Amino acid sequence: MPKSTFLNLRPEKRADFTDAALFEFALNDYQNASITNMVKVLGIAKGSVYQYFENKKDLYEFLIELAAEEKLKYTKKVIKKAGDGDFIKWYRKLLHQSLLFDLENPMLGCLLINVSQERNNAEIGNLALTNKRETAAFLKKVLELHQPKSLSPSLDSSKLAFHLTQLGFGLTDAFCIEKELDLRHFALERTAVEYDEAEVKAFVKDMVNALKPALG
């Protein structure tokens, strides 16, 4: 976690720093994100980074947490209703929010995608698999919550949870492929993706509908 030094920083300065750090770690994986480069962009002394954070890993963990929290804000309301009503509607809503988040916050989106793919780093462990395992476990629980009420009793919750996990992790990619967008480009430009609300909704709907019979 950040040192107090960082928390006591003038809000604007802290924001600048955070932004530059997110930028660097959004466009590079952990090992290749360069503190040297980051401070050059920021125009501050390299030593300052170590006034704010213990080390590179500490900074990285802060950014992950920040991005995760930010994303949670988008999805919290939906997640809370995990057991209510219709599962498909719920999941569609969840995906919708998740996709919107990435489109509106390309930097945070890219960062989280990077995190979800860290496999080879001894220092931070295999986050990719850990992430998937946890997400799949959560979705399995939700599926089993709905199964008695509205889902087919023959449904294989474990396997289906995995399919839904994959969908979740890959949705933004799919959208970008279909719409010929490059999220990294938007992260690079620090701009949100301009999207057509109806298009996004339709995309998610179609995506989930394609799986619907499997959930029937």
- Cβ-based neighbours of 185, under 8 Å, separated by 6 or more: none
**3 state DSSP class of 63:** helix
Contact 68, 62 (CB under 8 A): no
Nearer Cβ to its own copies (84/178): 178
| Nearest-approach distance from CB 211 to its own copies, in angstroms | 5
Residues 15-44 binding DNA (CB under 7 A) are: 33-37, 44
**Dist. CA 70–CA 67, nearest whole Å:** 5
- Nearest of 67, 71, 65, 62 to residue 7 by alpha carbon: 62
Tell me, by CB under 7 A, how many residues bind DNA.
Answer: 23
Nearer Cβ to DNA (3/133): 3
**Dist. CA 110–CA 139, nearest whole Å:** 23
Contact 27, 187 (CB under 8 A): yes
| Nearest-approach distance from CB 193 to DNA, in angstroms | 28
179 part of the interface to its own copies, by CB under 8 A: no
What token pair was written down for 107?
A: 């930097």
49 part of the interface to DNA, by CB under 7 A: yes
Q: Binder to its own copies among 19, 29, 58, 144 (CB under 8 A)?
A: 29
| Nearest-approach distance from CB 128 to DNA, in angstroms | 21
Which residues make up the interface to its own copies (CB under 8 A)? Answer: 27-29, 31-32, 113-114, 117, 119-121, 126, 128-129, 132-133, 136, 155-156, 158-160, 162-163, 165-167, 169-170, 173-174, 176-178, 182, 184, 206-207, 209-216
